[in-house]
């Protein structure tokens, strides 16, 4: 049977980019290049492999500023059939609870559009905040089961998915009723590298942009109004090294000064 999959993708700041901060301490995302969250690429690969095996459709969903659309074309090049970007100034400042609510509203609309849904896939976390909240929270908003740290999806049939889940010291096989949300770990899936033809084809595809009004999102549940937590301030870590130079014509005296300084700093020199 053909499968319908929604894959959640987060555009994050390119780790190679120089991050700029606003006066309030938040990251100025409009001033830096955005890329697909590396963890979400495993979910994209899992979704595309399911489509190749069973047939069906994969729809990408993201919540981000309008300029993030270019970064999302990588998901299209990897095999996602269509992409929906939820973008609205009202979403600014959303924490994971507000974000998961907004994403679940988009998933519901896609669910209705497709006439059914089997799986919602996402990465286990994002490279910028590393909370791991979104998958389980989306499952709660949709009132469907969710499984985190999924190593691989072994089978999908008869209204259920058999998954291999990472646990401390090994694995667990779990059978979960569909529809379900799965947070995919980067252990068994190797994200494909799109060919030039696939990249060019992705550039010609239209990314659908929805606002909160298009999806029927309650404004009081998103943005700062709907976020019980918020980022107060962010800053770069400054690494300062103390450079000390020991000089003396007598090498033994130099070594003695060096070791004495280490002892003052609490460095154990052994017996």
216 is written with which tokens?
A: 């029927």
End-to-end CA distance of the chain: 70
Contacts of 24 (CB under 8 A, 6+ apart): 233
Residues 267 and 184 both lie in one domain = no
Residue 92 resides in a domain:
yes
**Is 232 domain-assigned?**
no
Residues 155 and 108 in one domain: yes
Residues 208 and 263 reside in one and the same domain: no
CATH number of the domain residue 207 falls in:
3.40.50.620
Is residue 70 in a domain? yes
Same domain, 213 and 97: yes
The tens place of each residue's pLDDT in the chain, 271 residues long, gives: 799 999 999 999 887 777 777 776 667 766 678 899 999 999 999 999 999 999 999 999 999 999 899 999 999 999 999 999 999 999 988 999 999 999 999 999 999 999 999 999 999 999 888 899 999 999 999 999 999 999 999 999 999 999 999 999 999 999 999 999 999 998 999 999 999 999 999 999 999 999 999 999 999 999 988 888 877 777 767 777 777 888 888 888 888 888 888 888 888 776 5
Q: What is the pTM of this model?
A: 0.83
Given this model, what pLDDT does residue 246 score? 83
**SS3 letters across 135-178:** HHHHHHHHCCCEEEEEEEEEEEECCEEEEEEEECCEEEEEEEEC
For residue 48, being part of any structural domain is answered with yes
Same domain, 246 and 217: no
Residues 202, 260, single domain; the answer is: no
Which helix (DSSP H) or strand (DSSP E) does residue 202 occupy? helix 196-204
- Please indicate, yes or no, whether residues 32 and 152 belong to a single structural domain of this protein: yes
Counting the structural domains of the chain, the total is 2
- Whether residue 63 lies inside any domain: the answer is yes
Is position 228 within any domain?
no
In a domain, 100, yes or no: yes
Q: Tell me which residue range forms the domain holding 248.
A: 241-271
Q: pLDDT per residue over 7-61, tens digit each?
A: 999 999 887 777 777 776 667 766 678 899 999 999 999 999 999 999 999 999 9
Q: Are residues 100 and 173 in the same domain?
A: yes
| Residue 190 maps to a domain | yes
- Same domain for 84 and 127, yes or no, is yes
Q: Please indicate, yes or no, whether residues 180 and 89 belong to a single structural domain of this protein.
A: yes
Integer Cα distance of 83 and 74 in angstroms: 11
Q: Comparing C-alpha atoms, which of 235, 237, 238, 236 is closest to residue 25? A: 235
**Residue 246 sits in the same domain as residue 178:** no
Domain co-membership, 60 together with 126: yes
**Angle, CA 9 vertex, CA 3 and CA 13 arms, to 5°:** 165
Token representation of residue 79: 């095999």
């Amino acid at each position: 049977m053909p499968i319908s999959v929604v894959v959640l993708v987060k555009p994050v700041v390119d780790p190679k980019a120089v991050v700029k901060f606003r006066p309030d301490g938040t990251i100025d995302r409009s001033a830096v290049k955005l890329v697909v969250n590396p963890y979400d690429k495993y979910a994209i690969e899992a979704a595309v492999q399911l489509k190749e095996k069973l047939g069906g459709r994969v729809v990408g969903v993201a919540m981000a500023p309008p300029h993030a659309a270019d970064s999302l074309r990588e998901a299209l090049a990897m095999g996602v059939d269509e992409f929906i970007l939820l973008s609205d100034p009202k979403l600014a400042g959303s924490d994971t609870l507000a974000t998961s609510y907004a994403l679940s509203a988009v998933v519901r609309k896609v669910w209705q559009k497709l006439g059914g849904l089997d799986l919602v896939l996402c990465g286990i976390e994002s490279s910028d905040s590393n909370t791991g909240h979104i998958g389980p929270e989306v499952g709660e908003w949709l009132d469907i089961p969710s499984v985190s740290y999924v190593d691989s999806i072994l089978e999908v049939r008869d209204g259920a998915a058999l998954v291999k889940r990472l646990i401390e010291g090994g694995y667990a096989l779990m059978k979960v009723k569909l529809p379900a949300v799965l947070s995919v770990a980067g252990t068994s899936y190797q994200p494909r590298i799109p060919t030039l033809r696939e990249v060019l084809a992705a550039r010609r595809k239209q990314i659908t942009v929805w606002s909160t009004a298009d999806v029927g999102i309650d404004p009081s549940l998103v943005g700062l109004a709907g976020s019980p937590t918020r980022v107060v301030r962010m800053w770069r870590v400054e690494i300062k090294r103390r450079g000390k130079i020991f000089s003396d014509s007598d090498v033994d005296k130099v070594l003695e000064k060096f070791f004495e300084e280490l002892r003052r700093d609490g460095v154990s020199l052994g017996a």
